[in-house]
C-alpha cells in the first residue's frame, strides 16, 4: 500500500461506518508519550490511550435483558435465525456491560462467553455479510480483555473479509492505534495511511493524520514525520503571519489546538534529531518553505533551549538567518542566538553575536537597503551597542599590564560602539554619559586628541549635566597628555589646544576643585610657549584667588610670574616674584637652590643693565647686593667681582681695594683671583699704598698660570713699589727675584742690578757680585746692548776696580817681603784689569775716573815699596843699599803713575775737564812738584807734553 505524504493523499472513497458504531474517538486524541518515555509492561491500554468502543444505548436493566436472552437460547423451539440473533444480542449486551462496568471477574467471564458466541456465529454463518459487525465486536471484547494482538488480528480479519464494510475506516484506525500501542509503528503507519486515503471526510482523518506522523517519528523517519506535521499545521493554522508559538496556538481552539501544539513539538524534535537548524535549512530547501516557516525555527529553538541545548538553540536561530538573511524577522532570530548563548553562559559567544547584530542590523547596514530601521531593532541595537561597549571597556581595564597593546585595542573597540550610539541615538536619554564613556575609551586606547575633543563635547555641547564639569577637566588633561606626547617640532599647536581648553574650563566652571591646578598648568604652558604676558595673567588668577590656596600652586604661579618677567628682561619684577616663590619653599626643598640662582640672576641682571646704561654706581649697588639677597647663589663671586670692577672703573680706589681684597678672602680658590689681583694691585697703587700694591704684584709674579709677560711686569712692579715704599728687605729680594727670573730685557735687569748694588752696600761680597753681574750682563746683551748698558758696565767695572784698589791698599808689604809682595801685586793687577776695562768702555766720565784710580793705584804701589818694612839685622851700609834698591823698584811705578795722571790731563784738549782730571793734576803736583808745582791753578798743563 502506498504511504500517503503531506503533498497529497490518494483519497479513496470508502463508505463511512454506521454512526451507531462510531466511538467518540475524534474528541479524544492520544497525545502520545515523549520520545524517551517507556511504556513499561504491556497490559491492555488504558481507555485514555485506546478508548473502548461503546455500544448503543441499552435498557435500563441490562442484566435482565441478558437473562432473557439466555432463556431464549434455552428454548428448543427457536429457529436458527432467532437463535443467531439472540446469541449476537447476548454477546453484544455482555460486551456493552463490560464497557460500562469495567473489567471484573464476572465481566471477564461474560466477555469470554461473548467471544464463544461470536465464534459460533461466524462458524455457523461464515458468509453472512453482517459478519463485519461480529468481527468488530469480537475485537472490542478482546481489547477489553487486554488481548491486544488478538484484537489486532480480529480487526484485520474484518478489513480483509469485508473490505466494503462501512466499519472499515473505524477498524483500520482502531487497528492502527493498537499496533501503535504495541510499538509496531511501521504497521500502524500503514493503517493510518489507509485511513488518510479515505479522505478528510472520514471522522478518523484528523486523528489518523496525527498518529500517522507519530508513527513515522517513532520509526526515526524524522523528515517524513515533518511532512505530516507540517500538513497538520497547514490545515489547522488560520491564514496569518506567525512567529511566536504561543501567539500562533492562541488562534487555534479545541482539539485543533492540541494538534497544532503537538505538531510544532514533533517537528522541533524531528529537526533536533536530524541535526538542528542546518537540518531544517536542508529540509526546507528541498521541500519548500511553508507559510509559517519562521514559526518552525522559533519552535525548534525553544525546544532546544528548553532541553538546555544552548548552542544548538543558537545555531537553529542562526540557520534561519543564513537561509533568510533579508527576512523581516532576521534581527529577531539574531536576538534569539544571543539569548541562547547567554542562557548557556557562553559570554564570548554572546559578545560575538551582539557584535554581529550591531554590524548586520545597523541602520546604515545593507540589510535595510536604504529603508529606515524598525523601532524594535533600534531598541535591541541600542542595548547591544551599550553591552558591547561596556564589555570591551571592562576587558581593557582587566588586561594585564604586559598586554597594554591588547588593552588599547579593546578600549578603541569600546569607543567605536560608544560612538555609534551617539550617531544612531542623538536624542538618547543617556547621550551625555555615553559621550563621556566614549572619551574615556579613546583616552585609555591612546587616542589622546580624539579623547580630548570628546570630553570637550561632553562638557559643553549638552545641557548642563552631572558629568559636565568633570568632562571639561578631563578634556584639559587629555589635551595636555596629547601635547606631552608630541615631538618638539610639533608640540606648540598641541600645547595651545591644551591652553585653550584650560581657559575655557576655568571660565565655564570657576568653582571646580581643579580650577587652580588647571590655571597653574596653563600658565606654565604659556611660559613654555614664550607667551609671557598671558602666562603672568593666568598665574595672577591663581595668586589673587581667595585663600586658602595650596602653597605648591602659589609657588608654581610665582615661578611662572618670575620666569616670565625675567624672560622679558623685567628683572626688578622678576626679583620680587622670585622672593615670593622662595618664601614658599622649605630650607631643604630640592628646588630651593634653583630659585636662589634665579633670584641672584635677576638682581645681577639689574646690575648689568645699569652698567650698560652707564649708571655705574647703580650697577655697583645691584652687583654687591646679590650676596645679601641670595648668599648661596653660585653667581655670587661673579657679582662681587663685577661690583668691585665697577668701583675700579669709577676709580673709587679705596672701595675698589676693599671689595677686591674681600673677594680674595671669600673665594680663595676662585678662578677670577688673577684678575682680582691685577685690579687690586692697581687700586692699591692708585690709592698711594705702594707696599700693599707691591705685595699683590709679587703674588701675581709667582702665579704660574699667568703669562710670562704678565709675571715679568708684575715682578718688576713689585720690586719698584717695594722700592718706593722703602721696604729694603722686600725690595732687595724682589729685585733679586726679578733679575734671576728675567735677565731680559737687559736695560730693566741692569736697573735692577744697579739697585741691588746700592742695596747691598753694607755687604761687600754681594755688592761686588752684582757689580760683576752688571758687567757680565752687558757683555752678553748682544743686540740689546746699548750705551746705557755699556755705561752701567763701565761704572760697575770702575766700582769693582776701586774696591779692588782699596783691597790692594790694605795689603802692607811686610817681612819677609817675598811673601807679602805677591798678594799685593796680584791684588793690584786685578784692580788694574777692572779699571782698564772701565776706561775701555769709552765714557769720558768713567774713563777719567778709572784713569785717575789707575794712577793712584800705581802711585800707592810705589809708596808701599818705599814704605815697606826693613830687615832689622842690616847695618847702615846694607840698609842704605837696601833702600836704594827699593827706590829702584818703586821708580817705575812712580813713572807709570805720572804717565797715567798725565793721560788724564791730555784729555783737557779734547774738551774734557772733570774732577778726576783735576785730581790727576793734583797728584802730579805731589809726585812731580818741580814740573807741575809752578803751574797756576786753572792753567793748562797739557802743553809741556805735546
- Residue 105 scores a pLDDT above 80: no
Asked if residues 585 and 592 have their Cβ atoms less than 8 Å apart, the reply is: yes
Distances (CA, A) of 751 to 622, 716, 791: 46, 10, 12
Distances (CA, A) of 183 to 186, 216, 634, 805: 8, 11, 110, 171
pLDDT at 254: 86
More confident residue, 723 or 940: 723
User: Rounded distance, CA 635 to CA 289, Å?
Assistant: 96
Per the listing, cell 447476548 goes with 90
Express each pLDDT in 128-187 by its tens digit. 898 999 999 999 999 998 899 999 999 999 999 999 999 999 999 999 999 999 999 999
User: Rounded distance, CA 567 to CA 491, Å?
Assistant: 20
Q: Which of 312, 364, 373, 389 is nearest to 343 (CA)?
A: 312
User: Rounded distance, CA 446 to CA 443, Å?
Assistant: 5
pLDDT at 429: 92
pTM over 0.75: no
Distances (CA, A) of 907 to 542, 795, 840, 848, 938: 103, 19, 15, 8, 14
Helices and strands in the chain: count of H runs, count of E runs: 42, 0
- Residue 30 scores a pLDDT above 70: no
pLDDT at 52: 54
What is the share, in percent, of the chain residues with pLDDT greater than 90?
71
Omega into 292 within 30° of 0, i.e. cis?
A: no
pLDDT at 46: 55
pLDDT at 50: 54
Express each pLDDT in 187-223 by its tens digit. 999 999 999 999 998 999 999 999 999 999 999 999 9
Distances (CA, A) of 808 to 108, 110, 332, 819: 193, 198, 146, 15
User: Rounded distance, CA 48 to CA 27, Å?
Assistant: 11
Express each pLDDT in 680-733 by its tens digit. 999 999 999 999 999 999 999 999 999 999 999 999 999 999 999 998 889 899
Express each pLDDT in 320-351 by its tens digit. 999 999 999 999 999 999 999 999 999 999 99
User: Rounded distance, CA 168 to CA 159, Å?
Assistant: 6
In three-state secondary structure terms, 174 is helix
Q: Which of 230, 266, 258 is nearest to 26 (CA)?
A: 258
pLDDT at 33: 36
Asked if residues 311 and 261 have their Cβ atoms less than 8 Å apart, the reply is: no
In three-state secondary structure terms, 596 is helix
- Residue 10 scores a pLDDT above 50: no
Residue range 935-946: mean pLDDT, rounded: 46
Q: Which of 896, 777, 803, 900 is nearest to 847 (CA)?
A: 900
Amino acid at each position: 500500500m502506498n504511504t500517503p505524504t503531506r503533498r497529497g493523499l490518494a483519497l479513496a472513497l470508502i463508505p463511512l461506518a454506521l454512526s451507531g458504531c462510531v466511538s467518540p474517538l475524534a474528541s479524544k486524541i492520544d497525545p502520545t508519550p515523549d520520545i524517551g518515555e517507556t511504556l513499561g509492561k504491556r497490559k491492555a491500554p488504558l481507555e485514555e490511550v485506546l478508548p473502548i468502543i461503546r455500544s448503543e444505548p441499552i435498557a435500563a436493566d441490562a442484566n435482565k435483558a441478558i437473562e432473557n436472552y439466555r432463556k431464549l437460547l434455552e428454548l428448543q423451539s427457536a429457529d436458527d435465525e432467532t437463535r443467531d440473533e439472540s446469541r449476537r444480542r447476548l454477546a453484544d449486551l455482555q460486551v456493552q456491560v463490560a464497557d460500562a462496568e469495567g473489567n471484573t471477574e464476572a465481566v471477564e467471564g461474560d466477555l469470554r462467553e461473548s467471544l464463544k458466541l461470536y465464534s459460533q456465529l461466524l462458524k455457523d454463518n461464515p458468509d453472512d455479510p453482517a459478519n463485519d459487525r461480529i468481527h468488530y465486536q469480537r475485537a472490542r471484547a478482546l481489547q477489553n480483555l487486554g488481548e491486544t494482538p488478538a484484537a489486532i488480528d480480529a480487526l484485520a480479519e474484518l478489513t480483509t473479509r469485508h473490505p466494503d464494510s462501512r466499519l472499515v475506516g473505524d477498524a483500520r484506525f482502531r487497528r492502527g492505534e493498537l499496533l501503535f500501542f504495541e510499538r509496531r509503528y511501521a504497521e500502524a503507519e500503514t493503517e493510518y495511511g489507509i485511513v488518510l486515503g479515505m479522505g478528510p471526510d472520514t471522522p478518523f482523518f484528523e486523528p489518523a493524520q496525527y498518529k500517522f506522523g507519530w508513527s513515522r517519528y517513532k520509526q526515526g523517519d524524522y523528515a517524513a514525520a515533518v511532512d505530516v506535521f507540517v500538513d497538520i499545521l497547514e490545515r489547522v493554522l488560520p491564514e496569518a503571519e506567525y512567529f511566536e508559538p504561543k501567539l500562533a496556538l492562541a488562534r487555534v481552539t479545541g482539539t485543533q489546538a492540541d494538534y497544532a501544539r503537538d505538531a510544532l513539538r514533533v517537528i522541533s524534535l524531528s529537526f533536533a534529531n536530524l541535526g538542528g537548524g542546518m537540518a531544517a535549512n536542508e529540509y526546507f530547501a528541498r521541500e519548500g518553505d511553508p507559510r509559517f516557516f519562521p514559526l518552525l525555527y522559533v519552535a525548534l529553538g525553544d525546544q532546544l533551549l528548553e532541553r538546555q541545548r544552548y548552542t544548538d538553540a543558537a545555531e537553529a536561530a542562526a540557520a534561519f538567518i543564513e537561509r533568510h538573511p533579508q527576512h523581516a524577522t532576521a534581527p529577531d532570530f539574531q536576538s534569539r542566538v544571543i539569548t541562547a548563548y547567554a542562557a548557556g553562559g557562553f559570554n564570548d559567544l554572546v559578545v560575538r553575536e551582539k557584535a554581529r547584530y550591531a554590524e548586520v542590523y545597523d541602520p546604515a547596514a545593507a540589510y535595510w537597503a536604504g529603508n529606515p530601521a524598525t523601532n524594535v531593532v533600534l531598541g535591541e541595537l541600542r542595548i547591544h551597542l551599550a553591552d558591547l561597549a561596556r564589555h570591551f571597556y571592562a576587558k581593557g581595564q582587566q588586561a594585564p599590564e604586559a598586554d597594554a597593546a591588547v588593552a588599547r585595542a579593546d578600549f578603541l573597540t569600546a569607543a567605536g560602539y560608544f560612538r555609534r550610539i551617539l550617531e544612531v541615538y542623538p536624542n538618547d536619554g543617556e547621550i551625555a554619559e555615553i559621550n563621556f564613556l566614549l572619551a574615556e575609551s579613546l583616552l585609555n586606547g591612546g587616542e589622546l586628541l580624539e579623547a580630548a575633543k570628546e570630553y570637550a563635547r561632553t562638557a559643553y555641547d549638552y545641557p548642563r549635566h552631572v558629568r559636565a564639569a568633570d568632562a571639561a577637566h578631563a578634556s584639559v588633561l587629555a589635551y595636555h597628555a596629547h601635547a606631552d606626547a608630541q615631538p618638539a617640532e610639533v608640540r606648540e599647536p598641541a600645547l595651545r589646544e591644551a591652553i585653550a581648553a584650560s581657559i575655557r574650563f576655568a571660565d565655564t566652571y570657576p568653582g571646580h576643585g581643579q580650577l587652580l591646578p588647571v590655571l597653574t598648568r596653563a600658565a606654565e604652558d604659556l611660559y613654555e610657549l614664550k607667551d609671557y604676558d598671558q602666562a603672568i595673567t593666568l598665574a595672577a588668577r591663581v595668586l589673587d584667588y581667595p585663600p586658602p590656596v595650596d602653597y605648591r600652586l602659589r609657588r608654581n604661579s610665582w615661578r611662572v610670574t618670575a620666569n616670565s618677567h625675567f624672560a622679558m628682561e623685567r628683572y626688578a619684577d622678576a626679583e620680587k616674584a622670585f622672593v615670593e616663590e622662595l618664601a614658599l619653599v622649605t630650607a631643604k626643598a630640592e628646588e630651593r637652590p634653583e630659585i636662589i640662582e634665579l633670584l641672584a640672576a635677576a638682581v645681577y641682571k639689574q646690575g648689568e643693565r645699569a652698567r650698560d646704561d652707564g649708571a655705574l654706581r647703580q650697577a655697583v649697588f645691584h652687583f654687591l647686593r646679590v650676596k645679601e639677597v641670595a648668599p648661596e647663589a653660585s653667581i655670587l663671586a661673579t657679582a662681587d667681582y663685577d661690583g668691585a670692577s665697577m668701583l675700579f672703573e669709577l676709580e673709587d680706589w679705596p672701595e675698589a681695594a676693599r671689595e677686591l681684597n674681600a673677594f680674595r678672602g671669600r673665594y680663595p680658590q676662585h678662578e677670577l683671583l688673577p684678575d682680582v689681583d691685577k685690579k687690586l694691585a692697581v687700586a692699591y697703587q692708585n690709592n698711594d699704598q705702594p707696599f700693599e700694591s707691591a705685595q699683590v704684584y709679587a703674588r701675581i709674579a709667582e702665579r704660574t698660570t699667568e703669562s710670562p709677560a704678565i709675571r715679568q711686569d708684575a715682578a718688576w712692579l713689585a720690586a719698584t713699589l717695594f722700592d718706593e715704599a722703602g721696604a729694603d728687605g722686600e725690595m732687595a729680594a724682589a729685585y733679586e727675584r726679578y733679575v734671576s727670573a728675567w735677565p731680559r730685557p737687559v736695560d730693566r735687569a741692569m736697573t735692577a742690578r744697579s739697585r741691588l748694588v746700592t742695596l747691598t752696600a753694607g755687604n761687600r761680597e754681594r755688592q761686588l757680585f752684582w757689580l760683576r753681574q752688571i758687567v757680565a750682563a752687558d757683555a752678553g746683551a748682544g743686540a740689546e746692548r746699548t750705551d746705557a748698558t755699556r755705561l752701567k758696565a763701565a761704572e760697575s767695572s770702575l766700582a769693582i776696580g776701586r774696591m779692588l784698589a782699596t783691597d790692594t791698599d790694605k795689603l802692607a808689604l811686610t817681612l819677609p817681603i817675598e811673601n807679602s809682595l805677591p798678594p799685593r801685586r796680584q791684588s793690584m793687577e786685578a784692580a788694574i784689569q777692572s779699571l782698564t776695562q772701565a776706561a775701555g768702555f769709552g765714557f769720558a766720565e768713567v774713563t777719567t775716573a778709572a784713569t785717575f784710580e789707575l794712577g793712584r793705584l800705581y802711585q800707592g804701589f810705589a809708596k808701599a815699596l818705599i814704605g815697606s818694612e826693613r830687615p832689622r839685622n842690616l847695618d847702615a851700609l846694607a840698609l842704605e843699599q837696601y833702600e836704594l834698591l827699593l827706590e829702584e823698584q818703586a821708580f817705575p811705578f812712580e813713572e807709570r803713575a805720572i804717565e797715567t795722571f798725565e793721560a788724564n790731563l791730555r784729555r783737557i784738549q779734547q774738551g774734557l775737564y772733570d774732577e778726576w782730571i783735576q785730581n790727576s793734576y793734583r797728584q802730579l803736583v805731589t809726585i812731580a812738584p818741580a814740573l807741575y808745582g809752578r803751574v797756576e791753578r786753572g792753567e793748562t798743563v797739557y802743553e809741556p807734553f805735546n
